[in-house]
Structures are given as structure tokens and as C-alpha cells.
Amino acid sequence: MKIVIISPFQFILRRGIERYTYSVSNLLAKKYNIKVIVYTWNSKKLVDWGDWHPNIKLRRVPYSRYFNKLLAQLYYKVWSRYDNPDVILLNFLYHGELCLPSKFKFMYILHSPASQVPGRYIYIQKHVKKFKKIEFIAVSKMVRREAVTYLGKYKIAVIYNGVNIDSFGFAKPNKSTVLKLVTLSALEKRKGIQYLIKAMNLLKKESIEYNIYGD
């Protein structure tokens, strides 16, 4: 099986979308022996994600200060016809993706709720008809619930973002150990950090420490 994932800012930004692309690419390639091809944009200063599995091929649109989208449209057309993937995963729809041949099967990953980026959903709603075979994947029930308003006639599955627990080590607890909780995320109300803060205030336990990292 061959999958194309389009992630324009993979080597430009280090956000959740790019982390998702890196993680899911390596998982599909390593665990399921799927050939993954990532279409992305080049940059003068590249984000270092570490190792990519040998089954993953990176195709980079040449760097351009002002014409990345136009170049991407040209390269996406040529690459997709040459690669002929079984499915194409989309993270966006307005960075050159509309030029892709409609004959392919597409899966659009909905990363953000409509209440946060309503303009993005209006754009998707307006242009999604171009694709004959497209389904949506929401990363949470909240994202799906809000997406239905705009994309109700399409299939929207929920697949939560995973965590590779092999990447973390935990100390064995004992009676004198302080339990440390960590939240690492954007400091947005929808993340629910305020509820943990209130819970900590109610517990008033010195044996629990809550660390908040974010922006």
C-alpha cells in the first residue's frame, strides 16, 4: 500500500500538525510496512525531526520566498500522477492541494475545532466538492461535533492523537515521592487546563505538583 501525506510546513514549523505527520508516517512505515511519501515545502532553515523510516520518501517543493503555493500546485500534480498513491492524507486545503487530481481517494485530517478556525471550515465546505472520494478524520469528539455543521453530509470518523508511551520513563512511586503532573500544550481555554488548576486548589496536597508548559 502507498500513502501520500501532504504537510507543507513540515520543515518550516514545529506544531501539532507537523508532529502528527512525522509520528503517523513513521508508525505506518514501521508497524504496517506501508510506503509513505510526504509532500512538503523546502526552507532555508529546516526543522530537524530526527530519523525517518526507510519506507518514507520525502518530496520537497523547491524553496521560494513568495511563490511556494504556485510551485506546490505544479509539483503536486506531477508527483501525484507519478506516485499514484492508494490514498492521499490532507492537513490543509488552501496551500495548493486543490490542484490534485480528483480521481484519488482522499482523507482530510481535522486537527482544530471549527470554533477556533471558522474561516478554514468555510473554505473546506466551499471547495471540498472538487474531490469525488473524500472522508474526514477528526482528532477528537469536539472537533467532529463542530465539523458536522459544515461537513455533515460527509463521513467523519474520530481517531484520537496517540502517545508513544515507549518514549517516556516513570520513576517507581514511594511514600515520600511527589507526584508530578505536566501539561505541555497551547494555553487555550478549550484544553481544560483551568479545571486541573481548580482541582489542585481543592485537593491542597503538597504531595502533588502540577507543572504547566506552553504559550
Tell me which residue of 106, 199, 102 sits closest to 151, measured CA to CA: 106
Residues whose CB is less than 8 angstroms from the CB of residue 207 and which lie 6 or more positions away in sequence, other chains included: 177, 178, 179
Say if residues 156 and 131 touch (Cβ distance below 8 Å).
no
Looking at residue 166, its pLDDT comes to 78
- pTM for the full predicted model: 0.85
Burial of 173 (0-12, 13-18, 19+ CB in 10 A): exposed
Q: Which residue has the cell 506546490?
A: 72
Say if residues 156 and 129 touch (Cβ distance below 8 Å).
no
Looking at residue 91, its pLDDT comes to 97
Looking at residue 146, its pLDDT comes to 97
Say if residues 73 and 96 touch (Cβ distance below 8 Å).
yes
Looking at residue 152, its pLDDT comes to 92
Looking at residue 167, its pLDDT comes to 77
Q: What is the mean pLDDT of each run of 10 residues along the chain (215 residues)?
A: 97 93 95 97 94 97 93 97 98 96 96 94 96 96 96 95 78 76 87 92 89 91
Looking at residue 132, its pLDDT comes to 92
Looking at residue 109, its pLDDT comes to 98
Tell me which residue of 117, 114, 109 sits closest to 142, measured CA to CA: 114
Looking at residue 204, its pLDDT comes to 86
Helix (H) or strand (E) segment spanning residue 29:
helix 16-31
